[in-house]
Amino acid sequence: MSDLLPFVWHRKPFGDRRGREALLDLACHAALAVALNSELLHLIRINFFYSHSGLDHFAEADLLLSPLCREIGSDLYELQSRGKLLERLYRRYSKKRIRKLAVLLTNYAKSCPDWLKLEIFKKSLLLTALLHLDPATANQLMEKQRGRARRDREEHKWLLAMQKEAELGKNAAAVKPSRFFEVHHLPAARPWQSREELRQLRVWRKKKQGICMLIGPKGAGKSVLVKRFLQEQAESQKGENLSVFIFSFHFAPDIESLFESLGVWLESKSEREIPERLGQRDGLLILDGLDKFQENNGRIYDWRLDRLLQRIAVLASAIVTSRRSLPKQGTRSFHKIIIQPYKKHEIIRDRIIEDRLSIDKGVQAFKPIVSTAAKVAFARFLNKGLDKVEKHFEPTAVEQAISQAYEEWITAILGSLRMRGYEEQELEEFFRAYQVDLESFLKDQEAAEELLKPFSSYTAKVSIDHNRLLQRWEALELHPLPEDVDTAAVSRAYLHRINKAGIINPDFRDLFLAQLARKSAKHLEAIL
């Protein structure tokens, strides 16, 4: 699922992972409809996310304008990767909610008959709703229709498409949440430093029951400690029997979502069963950011959550992170671990080292692209009749310098993403999503001219026109870059890096100037 994250539009308020995850949740609901308009998406949001603070009215526009949506008519959209989105829907939400969603689509089609002008669209939408409400009846209908459709080519095509739709729904319904169910992503330490609290956590885990509270101020590293602990557990048990459910109130301060996801994961129909089922499964519940539901004295003000934790303390095990401790009451007792804040300068130092390592890793991944693009740029030189000039230089040295410059450009992009909080896995996603695009871009003549501008400048005050680069990117019709890439900052960092690395020497400047001179001479010839 995470591979869809880059395609959710990265407007600034949604620039963080939290916002993008929320948009994906909305998208997976919208994916139930074969086509949708802005009003239907709005109705889906207000019916199913009315208490979700992360999704406002403008989130709808963000989703509709994102690469995940394709406009197929005037105010009519189709979602891409519906299979994956439907799987997310079935994995995270209850059947009851999905049925309700299908009913919403039906009621909307019924109450607004004009929104889908074409009958074929309308019946596709209704049949899809029926496929999720009552698959047997839908399949029965389609089977009966098949005999008649043999005479009608269009009808036959439509039935084939709907058959695929049925398979899509069937596959999604068959998806079961994994034993290690990460509803929300916990941040990883960048980099990890050994901490005493981790040892305490290991000792507590041996008891296999009760609640462990990690208490510490904001930024102390509670969530990253849990993440590290889970990684260790997964490695030690090879992920076979580890049954973990992770929910973060920072992402979704919503009790209903917690119970719904827990219900889906534990296949339990009522809230009462949850602690027992969790205990039977030997599962570990992780609740991050409990302070969202605590009063100043630490008391939980939501009775359902309070009841859940009271029963889990006796029947199962959970790790809870919070800024405040829970008051002792009744039968509830818990193990408390106080997290001391990590020293800030140490974090910064370690982060710089780790950033460097992961960026280097990223650059290595792009190396084949860079060398091919450098070859293309160099070949372009030779084609321009500069073979004589080229004789004075070591050809591989020029090619190498171009290649190094490109590497520095990619490093600058990765650095920019890293600054925005991209982690290693997300950087890998970026490589996968933009590999082809970056290669085509670097091979493009105009883009290469702009990027290699410092080669022909005698002064260090040369500037890269990031707007031109962006226009070129758009003209080549490549995937839109994530909003997190600050192109102006990337250009500045790129210039700084190539100057610092001393890639360009005066000889190269001569060569590039000769190329420019040749170009102008040809231009003059043409005019005269």
Residues binding other proteins (CB under 8 A) = 11-13, 37-39, 42-43, 46-47, 50-51, 57-58, 60-61, 64-65, 71, 74-75, 96, 99-100, 102-104, 106-111, 119, 122-123, 126-127, 129-130, 133-134, 137, 140-142, 144-145, 147-148, 256, 259, 270, 303-304, 307, 465, 467-468, 483
With beta carbons less than 8 A apart as the criterion, state whether 199 and 324 touch.
Answer: no
User: From the CB of 515, what's the least distance to other proteins, in Å?
Assistant: 20
Nearer to other proteins, 147 or 506 (CB): 147
User: From the CB of 63, what's the least distance to other proteins, in Å?
Assistant: 8
Measured in whole angstroms, how far is the alpha carbon of residue 201 from the centre of its chain?
30
Classify burial at 201, counting beta carbons within 10 Å of its beta carbon; exposed 0-12, middle 13-18, buried 19 or more.
buried
User: From the CB of 358, what's the least distance to other proteins, in Å?
Assistant: 27
Return the structure tokens found at 364. 């290595």
Return the structure tokens found at 250. 């920072």
How many residues in total does the chain contain?
528
Nearer to other proteins, 100 or 179 (CB): 100
Largest Cα span, the chain: 97
User: From the CB of 32, what's the least distance to other proteins, in Å?
Assistant: 14
Nearer to other proteins, 45 or 228 (CB): 45
Cα(222)–Cα(330) distance, integer angstroms: 26
User: From the CB of 357, what's the least distance to other proteins, in Å?
Assistant: 31
Classify burial at 289, counting beta carbons within 10 Å of its beta carbon; exposed 0-12, middle 13-18, buried 19 or more.
buried
Q: Where are the beta strands (DSSP E) in 99-239?
A: 180-182, 210-215
Sheet of 210-215, strand order: 180-182, 244-248, 284-288, 317-322, 210-215, 334-338
Q: Spell out the alpha helix ranges (H) of 112-152.
A: 119-133, 135-149
User: From the CB of 331, what's the least distance to other proteins, in Å?
Assistant: 15
Query: What sign for the dihedral angle of Cα 50, 51, 56, 59?
Result: negative
Nearer to other proteins, 130 or 246 (CB): 130
Nearer to other proteins, 11 or 384 (CB): 11
SS3 state at 196? helix
Cα(213)–Cα(226) distance, integer angstroms: 11
Nearer to other proteins, 25 or 60 (CB): 60
Nearer to other proteins, 149 or 198 (CB): 149
Nearer to other proteins, 304 or 375 (CB): 304
Nearer to other proteins, 167 or 465 (CB): 465
Cα(200)–Cα(212) distance, integer angstroms: 10
Nearer to other proteins, 141 or 314 (CB): 141
Nearer to other proteins, 187 or 253 (CB): 253
| CA-wise closest residue to 20 among 86, 88, 77, 66 | 66
Nearer to other proteins, 134 or 355 (CB): 134
| Cα distances (Å, whole numbers) of residue 237 to 123, 241, 333 | 50, 7, 28
User: From the CB of 112, what's the least distance to other proteins, in Å?
Assistant: 8
User: From the CB of 425, what's the least distance to other proteins, in Å?
Assistant: 26
Nearer to other proteins, 106 or 400 (CB): 106
| CA-wise closest residue to 4 among 319, 433, 323, 437 | 433
User: From the CB of 41, what's the least distance to other proteins, in Å?
Assistant: 8
Cα(69)–Cα(82) distance, integer angstroms: 10
Strand partners, 286: 246, 319
| CA-wise closest residue to 85 among 34, 37, 123, 119 | 34
User: From the CB of 423, what's the least distance to other proteins, in Å?
Assistant: 24
User: From the CB of 505, what's the least distance to other proteins, in Å?
Assistant: 27
User: From the CB of 262, what's the least distance to other proteins, in Å?
Assistant: 13
Give the number of C-alpha atoms closer than 13 A to the C-alpha of residue 477, restricted to the C-beta side. Answer: 0
User: From the CB of 220, what's the least distance to other proteins, in Å?
Assistant: 30
Residue 118, phi then psi, degrees to nearest 5:
-85, 135
* CA distance between the termini of the chain: 61
